Structure 1
Amino acid sequence: MKLLCGLILAGAVLVLAAGHSAVESGCLDFDIKEQDVCCTKCKPGNRLVKTCGSDPKSLCTPCAKGKFTTKPIQWMCDNCRQCSSDKMRVKVNCTASSDTVCECIPGYRCANEKCLRCIKESTTEQQPNSTRTKPTALPARDAESQITAILIIFALICLVIPVAMILFLEWRRRKAIHKTHVEKETLEAGGQTQTSLLDEPSFCFPQQERGGSSQSSTSSLISQDSRPLEA
């Protein structure tokens, strides 16, 4: 049994090593500058060793075991992810150009897209879809009553708005007529007031007449007093 486990472990190590060693080294895209070439993009699973050189294959090298890179130009490779939680297991092994993919064991599910942690599945989520409660549709009578109520409300609105407009226009018309009558009565009252002022008798003339009579009586008295003196 121990021998079998050892063989399986050795096979897995060989597969991982083969996966990393199978990566082709070198630069994928480069620019020629004078006598050297300058790398602009490494091959998948390769990291940049130096920017320019005489041989494009020497500019990039594959990532070491347990490391990976997904960028076209990267000086250092990233460490492969470890599915260290007891609720996780490896779904896809790490390669030089891709990270490890983890998944949750049965009875648990990933808490997010990257599956950074696992949470226990609830009992309601494990039930089949047939046992879940479905929203019940409204009965036909209820639907008809709702439609009837909507139609009645719409009809009332169509009747109320024209009636309100007619009443408003009638109120404005009556207000304008009342305003015209008030202005007319005001003008007539003003004309009558001016006419009455012109027709009032003047009290100045009698006073003048009384003043004249008093002056004549005074002069007659003076003349009577002066006559004996002359005699």
Structure 2
Amino acid sequence: MLPLCYFAFLSLLSPVLSIECNETQYEWPVGKPQFCCEMCKPGQYMHRRNGKVCDKECKPCIGGRYSDTHNVEMYCGICDTCTKPNMEYKSRCNATHNAVCSCKAGYKCKDQNCKECLLVPTTSESSTTLPPSTTALKSTTLPTASTTPTPLRDTAWFLVIIVLLCIGFAFFVVTNIEPFLRWIRTKHGYFLAKPAAPVHSEVEEVSKPVQEVCGKCEQPLEV
């Protein structure tokens, strides 16, 4: 009696127990899963399946279609085409793999899926844009210009400013010296006055002949 009760209990509990299927299986039926059924293999799709048991029919992918995993899909995926400008096939599409696209030489993929190719300038192309002489001139002149000592330039400008200030001051002195001297004579004339000529008094002019006459009178007269 006990074994019969045990099996009856298991039959009632079995729909409640969870089912763990592996990655190549699917739980079936969908509402109340009781079975782990095998999926269709890569390169196939599920054409039909039974609603109660693991009874299915898988068919191969054809006509530019593929399936790269175990699946329960009702159709295959559509293969990509590598026909855009500057694009080429890295590998063609087949029943189990999609096509892989790549770009021609001198171009690169815009994204990881390589849906568009972009132009990439190479090192040789960028180096030929300038003539050799220009490249050499650029390599030799740029370091010299960048290493020009700044203090020398500052000193040169300082000397130019000093010279211009001196020229301006000299021009100011030349154009304003005469009015300045005239002002000095007006305010302080005694500093610039010419020495006056000696003035002889009338007494000195009159007495001189008298002295001379008297001198002559002192001499003895001859008889």
**TM-score, normalized by length of structure 1?**
0.35
- Relative contact order: is structure 1 or structure 2 higher (C-alpha 8 Å, sep ≥ 6)? 1
**Which structure carries more helix by proportion?**
1
Give 1 or 2 for the bigger CA radius of gyration.
2
**TM-score, normalized by length of structure 2?**
0.37
